[in-house]
Structure 1
Amino acid sequence: MATESQRSLVGDVLAGTRRILASAKHRVGITEDQNNLMGFAFVAPNILVFSAFLLGPVLYAFYISFQEWSILAGAGTWVGLTNYVEVLRPLPLAYTGNGLTWRPEVLTSPSANLWWYALKNTFVYAIGTVPLQIFGGLAVALMLDKRVRFKKTYRAAYFMPVMLSGAASAVMWRWFLAGDGVINSVLPTFLEHNWAGDPGTALGGVMLMAVWGGIGSNMIFFLAGLQNIPEELYEAARIDGASAWHRFRHVTWPSLGNTNFFVFVMAIISAFQVFGIALVFSEGGPVYATTTTVLLIYQRAFEEGAFGEGAAMAFLLFILIFSFSYYQYRYRDETEVDY
């Protein structure tokens, strides 16, 4: 028969267990008057699939980044941070006896460091495409949001580039921009140029192709945002004598705050992950002019067999994109337009 002290000990253990469970429920959002077990049951398959097919391979790639990996042997040799050092060295900023020294050749010469050169190409690509994709999509959406004839036809025409595969678009634009392509056939003789084969203009060709395809996808998001703005706001602004510009500035633009944030973040992420069109358009050439970070990762890992360095590059890019996304979510204006 259990003694009084034993029963007291069991009671204390059960009470402690209940407190731990109550604390755990509070942390995950389960309250006494709310049972979320059914919700967890619904999301469990997605969590399992995510863990098995996305999170697992990502963690395994992170493990490979610390090794000199051989895909044929299915094993590697532990090298620690050597892959990261090899990728980043030499740095654009070097410390000397006189302090920090800027070395621009690291960014401008692929022979100095191909990672930094590809990262520079990616930044140039993002700066040149993201604003045009966003404001171009907004302009088209504003035009098609009005009562115009053949509105559905225009929407389909602007959205058509999105329906094409990246490979098909790259092949088409390479044909347009070749030395004997369509663009040169309509230009004066003194303006003819091999736009796709010149290192100075090849990246511009990829950027032009990205803008052509990105405007249509952003147009859809902006159209959805515009159609959710109540017409009463515009009517009130007209009654107050607001011009078209003031209606856009004080009604349309603030009401598109969430849409602007989503489109901007997704456009930046997409720009830093550009791969397919650069690969098909020129395979990173000529002279690495269109080599982006993701294309370099692919070439280093799957063409050269340096899976360790490729994985290290992938995680450096992940840190860059994650830092930008976190900064945007952390410091963006949290106010939303409610009606």
Structure 2
Amino acid sequence: MALEEGEDRGDRRFTTAARDLLGGTRERLGSGGDGDAIMGYLFCLPNVAVFSLFLLGPVLYAFWISFQQWSILQNSGTWVGLSNYAEVLTPLPVTAEGLNLVVFTDPSANLFWWSLKTTLVYAIGTVPLQIYGGLAVALMLDTRVRFKKAYRAAYFMPVMLSGAASAVMWRWFLSADGVVNNLLPTFLEHNWAGNPSYALGGVMLMAIWGGIGSNMIFFLAGLQNIPQELYEAARIDGASAWHRFRHVTWPNLGNTNLFVIVMAVISAFQVFGIALVFSEGGPYYATTTTVLLIYQRAFEEGKMGVGAAMAFILFLIIFAFSYYQYRHHQSGEIEY
């Protein structure tokens, strides 16, 4: 009897410990007694598996390649450590002797720093106009205007065109005998696409033309989520149109602004297709952006390790900006 009672107590202790362990696991997973959270994790599992296999896996593989002198034909490489990163970054713009700004002004000194400067100029010239242009169009189309749907379709049309088609069209517009020169006086005519001083401006113009429409859609969605009661209360208090925008519209677009700014900057730093088709990085490296240079090094010259190193340096720059925006922006949604 004593032996059987001891076994029963042991079984009860084991059952209690197992129940406590299962309950603690459910709490950590956020699962109630009905198992809804576990079902949620199971539904997310295929997406996580596909992401890990087709996105995260290649990224980690490319990071490993960045430390090797890799041959894409032999699918093998030789470990070289940080040599690829040193080849990309040297000479540095800041040395013990002081600033070395020649790397930003002479592509023969260091083409990576030159391309990074070109990409930064492109981002500064396009992102603000894409964002504020999209906001202005969204504000206009959010009011009662005739043919609103037609205007929305017209502004969104460039987004539906492929980058290659847009680049070919704009190259024809800006060529020496193109549409733009035919509309200008003779003394203002230029070969806009073939002149190093104007080629990057042509790519920027193309990006602004396409970016306004995409940002317009995001801002329209944000504007339609703002409660109309706030505008009615502002009108009753005598607020002007500017004050309604300043104190009602703009604060309530905080989450939309964060998303649009981050996505616009990421898109600007990853510009590739339009620069490749428009002028293939020329003339004289005028439109050689960082991603285009990565493509040229990796696939045209066969330097996969150097291209992978450039890609991860660019990733760190984009990640630092995105993290800064996330930390310093009021990203919490407003609830009513």
> TM (normalized to structure 1)?
0.92
Does 1:211 pair with 2:208? yes
Aligned counterpart in structure 1 of residue 261 of structure 2, from 264, 277, 302 = 264
Q: Which stretch has the larger CA shift, 264-273 or 319-328?
A: 319-328
Aligned counterpart in structure 2 of residue 167 of structure 1, from 164, 169, 180 = 164
Q: Structure 2 matches for 1:22-37, cutoff 5 A?
A: 25-30=26-31, 35-37=36-38
Q: Structure 2 matches for 1:309-320, cutoff 5 A?
A: 309-320=306-317
Structure 2 CA distance for partners of 1:219 and 1:326, relative to 1, 3 Å: same
For 1:200 and 1:17, how far apart are their aligned partners in 2?
Answer: 73
Aligned counterpart in structure 1 of residue 234 of structure 2, from 209, 233, 237 = 237
Aligned counterpart in structure 2 of residue 155 of structure 1, from 128, 152, 157 = 152
Identity %: 72
Shift of 1:323: 1.3
Deviations for 1:216-275, whole angstroms, at most 9, x for unmatched residues? Answer: 000111111111111111111111111111111111111111111111111011111111
Shift of 1:20: 6.9
SS of 1:73's partner is coil
Q: Structure 2 matches for 1:314-333, cutoff 5 A?
A: 314-333=311-330
For 2:264 and 2:323, how far apart are their aligned partners in 1?
Answer: 15
- In structure 2, the partner of 1:190 is 187
Shift of 1:36: 1.8
Q: Structure 2 matches for 1:134-149, cutoff 5 A?
A: 134-149=131-146
Residue ranges of structure 2 left out of the alignment (5+ in a row) = none
Q: Which amino acid aligns with 1:323?
A: A
> TM (normalized to structure 2)?
0.93
Q: Structure 2 matches for 1:90-105, cutoff 5 A?
A: 90-96=91-97, 101-105=98-102
- In structure 2, the partner of 1:48 is 49
SS of 1:179's partner is coil
RMSD, aligned CA: 2.4
Does 1:248 pair with 2:219? no
For 2:328 and 2:177, how far apart are their aligned partners in 1?
Answer: 49
Q: Which amino acid aligns with 1:95?
A: A
Shift of 1:7: 11
- In structure 2, the partner of 1:282 is 279
For 1:12 and 1:314, how far apart are their aligned partners in 2?
Answer: 56
Structure 2 CA distance for partners of 1:235 and 1:8, relative to 1, 3 Å: same
Superposition misfits of 4+ residues, deviation over 3 angstroms: 4-35
SS of 1:68's partner is strand
- In structure 2, the partner of 1:81 is 82
For 1:84 and 1:9, how far apart are their aligned partners in 2?
Answer: 62
For 1:50 and 1:95, how far apart are their aligned partners in 2?
Answer: 44
Deviations for 1:19-58, whole angstroms, at most 9, x for unmatched residues? Answer: 7766665544345675422111111111111111111111
Q: Which amino acid aligns with 1:162?
A: V
Q: Which amino acid aligns with 1:226?
A: L
Structure 2 CA distance for partners of 1:182 and 1:30, relative to 1, 3 Å: same
Q: Which amino acid aligns with 1:157?
A: A
- In structure 2, the partner of 1:66 is 67
Residue ranges of structure 1 left out of the alignment (5+ in a row) = none
Structure 2 CA distance for partners of 1:41 and 1:235, relative to 1, 3 Å: same
